Chains A and B, each alone.
Chain A
Amino acid sequence: MAMNNQGRPSDAGAGAGQTSGIVTISGDRGLDHEEKLIFELGHGAVGVDLPDVKIADDRLGGMRRKGAVGLPGLSEPETIRHYVRLSRKNYAIDSGLYPLGSCTMKHNPRLNEKMARLPGFGDLHPLAPASATQGALAMISELMKWLTVLTGMPAVAMSPKAGAHGELCGLLAIRAALEARGEGHRKRILVPESAHGTNPATAAFAGFTVDEVPAKPDGHVDADALEAKLGPDVAAIMLTNPNTCGLFEPRVKEMADAVHAAGGYFYCDGANFNAIAGKVRPGDLGIDAMHINLHKTFSTPHGGGGPGAGPVVLSERLAAFAPLPLLVHDAKGFRLIETRAEAPEGAQPFGRMCAFHGQMGMFTRALSYMLSHGRDGVRQASEDAVLSANYILASLKDVMSAPFGEGPCMHEALFDDSFLEGSGVTTLDFAKAMIDEGYHPMTMYFPLVVHGAMLIEPTESESKESLDRFIHVLRTLALEAKTGQTARFEGAPHFAPRRRLDETLAARKPILRWKPAQLQEAAE
């Protein structure tokens, strides 16, 4: 077997096939093919046919490339086989229940893919003249209407490219509003300790300082502690509601009123909007800004970690500070305001989040989802998501440990690792054993306020039969762990394309790219 400069195998093969006791000749195992890197497969073939134009007299200002890039050459069939083989090493919502709490892995309707690929949307240039883009702008306007009606908020900024980008947009709007009031000295943001990591990271990114608010033993934010921390230097509170423990904050309006009375704003992390969409309007709760993860609530595909989209709804108090571009509609039709100079009376855009106008490809998918569901379907989806999570909680609470009691929960059921105490099985082992049972594990070790957390979000996309099967597997795993039958947990997973991977080694001696043999030798 070839070794790289770390003394690790540089091709797929010889180690494969060992778990069954039979070592295969090829290193492959039935449908599970080992697959080399394209750099190891390339052999000078080419997967496109383009004319070989010679340029004798270039106009490149003397900056023509002298050396080769170093890219491998593969034909189309080789390329397709390579990526198809890789794809089969992935778990996906299309192939099984994906209970990753706070990530909302729900069904991705294929109609939405088709709509996003209509040439009028998918093949439209962002700087084509307004006359050539009226349908696209009308589409965005329709989506904005849905988002504002569902949230009960008057305005929405469409350009943020993901949830964390939306958080940044919301906090920059707050910053601009404070500065416009002459209160730019307000720099402290209150963030619960149960918050997503993006919340404190975004606050720091936007130039604020973070002050943590503790959680109460029942999983809710300690509203009294929060109110006690309010003061003239507080810019905002940043709450997730429903919160990361899967609970609705019962004192949310009280906290909103308190922060407003103290001169601050209420930013809501909308990651969990999918529990209440079509049922509760965040605008009715006193929220000033909230991002909406279109890839969660409105089911644009997660794509292995993106792209997402994070439009931000804004209250009356923040609407004027929305970033460029602004979409306006007048007698001449729709058009985009792209510079501060063109901004309408009263608008004070704080800046620009990105080039162009946002994640159009996600907008078409999200609107297609909304039109398909309708207001009744959106409401039903929220109710089903909450119902399914509570069904899981009710079915597992006697064998696993629910830190916040009998429920109800919202769209996520949270467990801690106290049921594993003394078993020698960790949350990680438990999760990895789920892989052998054909499931993607739940979110582990988050939220941080719960020891060994396991956060299960079934979403509304699972049938009762699917939930029952999942519950049966988890009950059995829990009972086995508690009764000392731990063999299946040791070193799990056993049946995945890979056994546990050495993450410490990866971080200690980072290999972040393939290098040709001579470079590897030189590095030694």
Chain B
Amino acid sequence: MRPVTNNREFIACRTAKFFKDGDLVNLGIGMPTLCLEYIPEGIDVWVDSENGVIGLLGAPQEGETAPADVVDAGGHPSMLREGGCCFDSFRSFGYIRGGHVAATVLGAYEVDAEGNLANWMIPGKAAAGMGGAMDLVSGAKITIVMSTHTDKEGNPKFVQHTDMPLTGYHCVDYFVSELAVIHVTKDGPVLEEIAPTTTVEEVVAKTGAKLIIPEKVGCMA
């Protein structure tokens, strides 16, 4: 397993522990793709990509050549494992909306206490588009957001109520940052785990929503 040397890798390493043996998981472009490097020993997951493929293995390593016309959700060449398969876009999204994907992992501008996700447009700025994110969060069994705990200006990314245009409504189950794991429940957001390097007080101070603090908060590892 790749050593954890920075926050991105720490977040990916924790997120990968949500996966169960045999899960079909969809990893968004960027940080979520890093989860592939941290799949726990003995856990075999199948990676779904919305462009129509199950069984992606990631970018070719030195000495490997990706098969022709096998790309990931970012359009980059990827290796395909034995038993992997390709299909049309409408079938791809049938599997996605149809509840066949155990977990979808993506990034966020903001997540709020009700599990609302904003990750596709910032009002007043040019929008890149939502790609497959709206379909993914509407159909995957669980939605996991991987994110830094605060933005570049230090503002919390987990807020009480987001006013940004939504990607999905009441869809986020877990928010994983370099500081904490927050589980969005019907009763509200529960602080389930904190990083070994922080305190509950620091996490609460850097979170924009009222967190439910259980008697025993776990340690991210």
A, B in one complex = no
Q: Which residues of A contact B (CB under 8 A)?
A: none
List the interface of chain B (C-beta within 8 A of A): none
